Structure 1
Amino acid sequence: MPSTSLRTRAVRRAALPAAVLLPIALAACGGSNDGPVWPPANGAYAAACTDLVASAKLAATTLATSYVPPDTKRPGGAATGAFLPGHCVVTGSINPRVGVDGKNYAIGFQLSLPDNWNGRFLFIGGGGNDGILRDTSLSSSISGGTPSPLGQGFAVVSTDAGHSGTTASFGADPQARTDHAYNSYDKTAVASKSLIATHYGRKPDRSYFSGCSGGGRQGMVFSQRFPDYFDAITAGAPAMRVSSGATVAAMWNTIAFNAIAPQDAAGNRILSQAFSNADLNLVAGAVKSSCDAADGVVDGMVNNTKACNFNPAVLQCSGAKGADCLSSAQVGALTKVFGGPRNSAGQALYAGQPWDPGLAAPGWRAWTLGSSTTATSDARYITLMVDALINEFFTPPDLTFNPLAFNFDTDPARMAAYSAIYDTYADDKLTAYRQRGGKLLFIHGMSDPIFSAKDTVDYYERLAANNGGMATTQGFARTFLVPGMNHCSGGPATDSFDSIQTMVDWVEKGIAPDTIAAKALPTQADYPNRTRPLCAYPKFAKYKGSGSVEDAANFTCAAE
């Protein structure tokens, strides 16, 4: 695509809402007496970027800046597509220190400040164990259908959450645990807004947050601990019970699948072979046969999720295991996993998983079973969740712990102390955030294998019960379920959508989202280029009765 011209940028500015245009006009006329005039005289954007280090008013913070000229870089360093505008990249370290483990720590952040700033600030969340700075020229991980927010004129920040490196070894340092739980996001947001005010001579007109997984949890942290920081938050697949529930489920699932996996010559289980890809496709096909038509059409998607009551027992072989059936052990493992973890008294420890055809997608296998052909598993339940469990979620850490020996009666108690500061499921009122006018979007894939969509629905229904019912709650919070989608993206799903623009329209235009337009990427194997409306829960996309099933126009949002 051709590079962005000055005329195009002028058109973009002309299209901005009046609430954004007015401060820009005032700044251009010298509307601020105690800050710089923006844009700088004679187009001295690079000099303004360099000057930011000296003019910043941040304590215990080191800064470095670099200027990226316009039309020299594409989002993420892509080889094709629209170029980015000129922008100043600020890399900062807040409160550098040496931890009790002798390692160097600091709250790192990357803030990109575009020359053509539209008055908006976007914080993109992290994920996993964090420890990296996400590329601020890209969109958030739950809004892959959003053109680069930086390219649109947003000031964009990301943080490493207070440590460097993607392992959870930082859990040995108490302050690093607190930084990862909530402190780093507070400090990054405050520093970013200060730098924005210094650079442009005024504060952001509107502030937004968008993240998925751990980033979704971070969004919930802001809505609860720092409710006045953001006008709207997207919390995708929020890890709201990761240190007390989802990790327990990961251990439960691993134990169940490992118990039925075939053994190698030494008698060690090969987790990935508990189910072949053909086995998972068989299950997905049976789920579709049982549940697909409940949304008005057989199209390979289960949109009416509440009507799906699949029982894997229908696939159990009457004799020897064959290509068209599952062994009794496989059926038992699936029943156990999708039912969710329980202690010996039968008490539920986390939500089970919803039945959805996306369980046959690579993303589901990557988390639950992995693809290693040896007894050394590469499933993310093992490589990521066990790492977080033994280093961070247990208090104190227990580096020698065997996940296959997890005790569902006693071990959850070892996770309670950290859950109290890390998890976000308990505050189901959000009184302060609602009262200040904040908006909240939950988005969750129905085939997410680590954070159950059932858990998000449960939280949302509790939120509604505490805020006057569903209709009242939808005035500030809405939930969107994505059939077929794995963790944050992927699967046989329409998983490309612009949730950031959805937030902007809700906050700045008052357009509450009844639907979010979604599509499948052209490269998706199952339904390339398919479009669907994502419907605000409890509604679902229902076929109107005629027209192509590939076209969203032939679906409407309906109640069960």
Structure 2
Amino acid sequence: MKRQILALATVGITVAGAAALYAVVDRSNDSAATPASANAFNCSTFQIPAPDGATVESLTARNVPTGTFQVPGSPPLGGYPVPDVPAHCEVTVTLTHPSANDHATVQVWLPESGWNGRFQAVGGAAYAAGNIGGVATAVKQGYAAATTDAGVDTTGLDTTWGLNSAGQVNTALLENFASRSVHELAIVGKQVVNNVYDQAASYAYWNGCSTGGRQGYMEAQKYPSDFNGINADAPAINWNQFEVATLWPQVVMSEAHTYPTSCEFNAFNQAAVKQCDPQDGLADGLISDPGRCDFDPRRLIGTKVQCDGKEYTISETVADVVRKIWDGPRDANGKQLWFGLPTGADFSALTAGVTDANGITTGSPFTVPAQWVSTFVQKQRSFDTANLTYAQFDRIFQQARSEYDSIIGTADPNLSAFRDAGGKLLTWQGDADQLIPTAGTVDYRKRVDALLGGTTRVDDFYRVFLAPGVAHCALTGSNDMTALTDWVEHGKAPDVLRATLTTATGQTVSRDICRLPFVSRYTGDGHPASPTSFRCVAP
């Protein structure tokens, strides 16, 4: 079934290219859940107990007929229709916290008929804590679904809420965004389900990508009993490391006084794919194991590139800029601070620049990390991140970790409580993720393995799948929620995920996505577009 276009993780990805973050669930599994009686549906105002430390400011309920839901806002996070949303009860609960003067809204939609007995909470994107379009789609799939705005920005691209009138960080709203509101969403959502259907949901699931992925990991780390299953994709964990590190390409270009053209950047990716693509046994435009790709950017020095009617010659300086971007940020002593842009990932979002009438180019940093640094780290909304020096970058990187790791870092590898609660955590991420380095997710999984007894034991409750050639939150045709449901409700742990991939030449292929630590390899025969022509092997 075709996936609906939902919230994207950040700007810089087209709506068409980033298609849905929420997979269609195979309804054949519905027997595992307990649907409500049609007579039990009660869409009316009722009272629910407030979560600890919160007060319920208001609760409203209304019946909404079948129709098309127009997601509010502008693309890519809004401004698109979700057709054929079934008749449902829309419950809106507003919470506040003592002395915080906040107003966090939870919306719960509950299908009037055809409820599959499950509750699904939907995650946010960038600085939006939730996604109402994802709720509409989940309701179409039979879920009682919910999301929260955490009392902060709902467009995803505004952090004016981050500082109060005195220029100080709004710690209450940051706590909402970081962790508190998602936990309260779980509590309130389940209570609403119980009131409307007169019975509890059989299972509770989390579903999100990027910020939504980070929220899912925060739940597993901090509130391990909230959800039976968590689908947390391309997760924005290690928040302070990766967020600041995505400014590194701008720092490198500024220090080198060199801003390569998009054609030059593309030439390096094309050369890397050409060299490393065949390592999996088939030259199909996909690098199955980017970690083994050792393409040296210096090989292109002197190569001529045609771009918009102009010819460029790859210089040693340009090659060094690319090398440093792929390598990732390092401090003055050469110690690696975080991971760089994955080989083969698109450069454009993190290397954008603006050229004036005199032909002078300056950097145009990606807005999400730029706002994190200016608002929360520097506490000056006007702070310019376009021309940071290496020394400034190092200082900001360390300051972000020192001030905010304990609040929003989402990097704690101790998932023992989640494991003991019987939870299952599933993650996929594109190997060509241009916004969140895939290596950071792999590093987190390795730290969990080291803490909790090794890969085999951790695989019992937590699995990661890496998709060759896939950009940020852009995996299509995935059966991730189906796989998670089977795992939670039937004990069938997924060895692969089925998905649709697009090669470097634009060809669409169906492929089984391997779980860590395995990688895809061509069997030597069979049609290259068929998933049966590949197997998952140890790297």
- TM-score between both structures, scaled by the size of structure 2: 0.82
Gaps of at least 5 residues in structure 1 are 2-11, 29-37, 139-147, 263-273
Aligned match of 2:512: 533
- Output one character per residue of 1:353-389: Cα deviation in whole Å (capped at 9) or x when no partner: 3312x42xxxx41x2123755479795x442211122
Residues 342 and 408 in structure 1, CA contact (< 8 A), matched pair in contact too: no
Aligned match of 2:217: 220
Where 2:33 maps in the other structure, the secondary structure is helix
Correspondence for 1:384 among 368, 383, 388? 368
Aligned match of 2:328: 340
- Output one character per residue of 1:52-84: Cα deviation in whole Å (capped at 9) or x when no partner: x234444423123332223x2369699999723
What is the Cα deviation at residue 506 of structure 1?
A: 0.9
For 1:14 and 1:495, how far apart are their aligned partners in 2? 19
Structure-to-structure mapping, 1:544-559, within 5 angstroms:
544-559=523-538
Correspondence for 1:299 among 263, 284, 292? 284
Residues 224 and 430 in structure 1, CA contact (< 8 A), matched pair in contact too: yes
Aligned match of 2:68: 73
Structure-to-structure mapping, 1:261-280, within 5 angstroms:
274-280=259-265
**AA partner of residue 510 (structure 2):** T
User: Does 2:119 match 1:121?
Assistant: yes
Give the number of the structure whose residues are more often strand, by fraction. 2
Where 2:508 maps in the other structure, the secondary structure is coil
What is the Cα deviation at residue 91 of structure 1?
A: 2.4
Correspondence for 2:206 among 209, 219, 229? 209
For 1:540 and 1:423, how far apart are their aligned partners in 2? 29
For 2:410 and 2:216, how far apart are their aligned partners in 1? 10
Runs ≥4 residues deviating over 6 A:
77-82, 318-322, 375-378
User: Does 2:160 match 1:169?
Assistant: yes
For 1:171 and 1:13, how far apart are their aligned partners in 2? 40
Structure-to-structure mapping, 1:174-189, within 5 angstroms:
174-189=171-186
For 2:298 and 2:451, how far apart are their aligned partners in 1? 38
Coordinate RMSD, CA, aligned:
3.0
Indicate how the Cα distance of structure 1 residues 135 and 281 shifts in structure 2: closer, same or farther if over 3 A, else same. same
For 1:536 and 1:14, how far apart are their aligned partners in 2? 24
**Relative contact order, higher structure (CA 8 A, sep 6+):** 2
Residues 96 and 105 in structure 1, CA contact (< 8 A), matched pair in contact too: yes
For 1:280 and 1:349, how far apart are their aligned partners in 2? 23
Indicate how the Cα distance of structure 1 residues 319 and 88 shifts in structure 2: closer, same or farther if over 3 A, else same. closer
For 2:57 and 2:80, how far apart are their aligned partners in 1? 34
Structure-to-structure mapping, 1:390-409, within 5 angstroms:
390-392=374-376, 394=377, 397-403=379-385, 404-405=387-388, 407-409=392-394
Residues 122 and 130 in structure 2, CA contact (< 8 A), matched pair in contact too: no
Aligned match of 1:5: none
Residues 249 and 325 in structure 2, CA contact (< 8 A), matched pair in contact too: yes
Aligned match of 2:6: none
What is the Cα deviation at residue 334 of structure 1?
A: 1.0
**AA partner of residue 532 (structure 1):** R
Gaps of at least 5 residues in structure 2 are 2-24, 73-78, 164-169
**AA partner of residue 343 (structure 2):** W
What is the Cα deviation at residue 324 of structure 1?
A: 7.9
What is the Cα deviation at residue 480 of structure 1?
A: 0.8
What is the Cα deviation at residue 109 of structure 1?
A: 2.1
Give the number of the structure whose residues are more often helix, by fraction. 1
What is the Cα deviation at residue 557 of structure 1?
A: 1.3
Structure-to-structure mapping, 1:241-390, within 5 angstroms:
241-243=238-240, 245-260=241-256, 274-317=259-302, 326-356=314-344, 358-359=345-346, 364-365=347-348, 367-370=349-352, 372-374=354-356, 379=364, 381-390=365-374
Indicate how the Cα distance of structure 1 residues 527 and 510 shifts in structure 2: closer, same or farther if over 3 A, else same. farther
Correspondence for 2:432 among 428, 434, 447? 447
For 1:135 and 1:537, how far apart are their aligned partners in 2? 31
Residues 427 and 464 in structure 2, CA contact (< 8 A), matched pair in contact too: yes
Residues 267 and 305 in structure 2, CA contact (< 8 A), matched pair in contact too: no
Structure-to-structure mapping, 1:28-39, within 5 angstroms:
28=37, 38-39=38-39
Aligned identity (percent) is: 27
